[in-house]
Chains A and B, each alone.
Chain A
Amino acid sequence: MLKDITIGQYFPGHSSLHRLDPRIKIILTIVYIVLLFLVKNSAGFAVSILFLVVCYMVAKIPLKMILRSLKPIVPILIFTSALNVLFVSGDHPIFDWGVFHITQEGIYTAVTMSIRVLCLIAGSSLLTYTTSPIALTDAIERLLGPLKVLHFPVHELAMMMSIALRFIPTLIEETDKIMSAQKARGADLESGGLMQRARALIPILIPLFISAFRRAEELALAMECRCYHGGKGRTRMKQLHLGVVDGLACGVMVLTVGAVIALNFLPIPW
């Protein structure tokens, strides 16, 4: 069913990673991604993978969830790895056959690229696993705050984002309900050619649009009734405060980055 798609993929919990200030989490995630591209040798990769593993263990995210988020990119990874292995040229050929030449460099590129992409996805998933979408938009609004000076509509953008995020589950639920109701009347959504399937969507899309517009109108009215008129002069119920955990997290990250840079100077061949 549609419900099984978890958008935003927030995985509620109370670990210290969950309690971390979302702004810090966003920044640290960016730092981690940069770090992945600073790594030059296997020791560095080992450290960055270890860092991620420890983070996941602290956040108590089950292995199954990680695998689920990585699954969709596996085919792409296999494909690009194959291209890398077959076409990257280098000084240490292992095998040559027409346009295909397998070299040590090719294998190296394929492996490092795969590790980088996997770590990148797993790392940014960790951010969405441990941060609720609302906290995330809140943090983005704060981080983009300085752009307000340039009259960039930061607050409006963040509000749109949080409303959209807020309504994704509602609309999914609504779609599910309408689909069930039409299926109960014998609507056939699964068989037939392209045209037939497109036509079968009409009984679902029309009620869905009507209800989406109705909801939008109701929401606008409710917001106006509560005197909402943009971000000017608004204060927040949930203030974000930096705490000890945040300092600690930054410290650990600095250490990791330092370690990786130091390891880059190790005299090992790969």
Chain B
Amino acid sequence: MKTLVIKIENLTYKYSVGTPFEKVAVDNVNLEIEGGEVIGVIGHTGSGKSTLIQHLNGLLKPTSGKIYLDGMDIWADKSKLRQVRFNVGLVFQYPEYQLFEETVYKDIAFGPKNMGLTEKEIDYRVHEAAEFAGIREEVLQKSPSELSGGQKRRVAIAGVIAMEPKVLILDEPTAGLDPKGRNKILSQIKTYHEKVGNTILLVSHSMEDVAVFADKVLVMNKAKVFAYDTVENVFARSEELKAIRLAVPQITNVFHRLHEEGYPVPENVYTVAYAKRKLLATLAERGKLPNA
């Protein structure tokens, strides 16, 4: 049975209140996130994705509205906010710029140390997180400045994973990486999710990534929730998505057209792997037909 982990109620957030630069970045958002789900968050640049997720661990205080973690209003007791931050781990966009310790090991240990864990537990978590993030043992004693951009990013992600958060939020973890680095990070996050089974929110600009990776998709448009549903249901609304100038995965477009032209293919396809399976099945069926 799924349980509700995070509940957002009528959340509105405005930047620079009371100046001419006032800007509504999140507008009356209601959302329920269940345990164990992987949610892809997509939307145009400036649609409020980063602003929204910074509310989930209490970094931003809502202008109005409430956020519940396990049924508790996170702003009810300010002294518990740190606890909220350990439970909801947030990896920022370009997290490599936040590294500060002399060694990779110490940097990953920063979060667990703040949690007040014992040396032994910290050591265990650092090694485990490093493994999840694909950081080799010998890298742990290096200085972060010696690493490549992609490696630094994995260190930063490990730094949050080491807190063993119930909910892990990643803000565009693949921004600025080449396809190889991208796939590596994504598959590592996926493996991590399969092993730990926690809730993951992944902000991404790539529909393909979201389609492969997520159970549910949250589409933000102009500070509002445009859609929040399973991958199938969201990408089935491709016309509406196009209207707000968001593209569905290319493979979905291809299959829409094929279906329109009258080919016997399923209308809604969003990953290449699924497309391949369906196509092969259809071809096999067709091959069989004349014999029958």
Using CB atoms and an 8 Å cutoff, list the residues of chain A in contact with chain B: 3-4, 6, 11-12, 64, 177-178, 180-188, 202-203, 206-207, 210-211
Contact = CB atoms under 8 A, between A and B. Distances in A.
A4 B19 CA distance: 9
B114 A187 contact: yes
Interface in B233-272: none
A188 B78 CA distance: 13
Contact of B90 (A11, A64, A184, A202): A184
Interface in B32-65: 54, 57, 59
B82 A182 contact: no
A186 B100 CA distance: 15
B163 A186 contact: yes
B173 interface: no
A184 B160 contact: yes
Interface residues of B, number: 27
B20 A12 contact: yes
B59 A183 contact: yes
Given A178-B98, A181-B95, A206-B100, A186 B86 contact: yes
Interface of B is mostly: mixed
Contacts of B160: 184-185
B111 A64 contact: no
A12 B21 CA distance: 9
Contacts, number: 58
Interface of B: 15-16, 18-20, 54, 57, 59, 82, 85-86, 89-92, 95, 97-100, 110-111, 114-115, 159-160, 163
A12 B15 CA distance: 17
A38 B208 CA distance: 72
Nearest to A11: B20
Nearest to B92: A181
A178 B16 contact: no
Contact of A188 (B82, B91, B98): B82
A178 B110 CA distance: 14
B163 A211 contact: no
Given A178-B97, A203-B110, A207-B97, A184 B20 contact: no
A6 B19 CA distance: 10
B114 A64 contact: no
Nearest to B111: A185
A64 B18 contact: yes
A186 B16 contact: no
B99 A180 contact: no
A210 B57 CA distance: 27
B114 A185 contact: yes
16 contacts: A11-B20, A12-B20, A177-B92, A178-B97, A178-B98, A180-B59, A182-B98, A184-B59, A184-B89, A184-B90, A185-B163, A186-B82, A186-B115, A207-B97, A207-B99, A210-B97
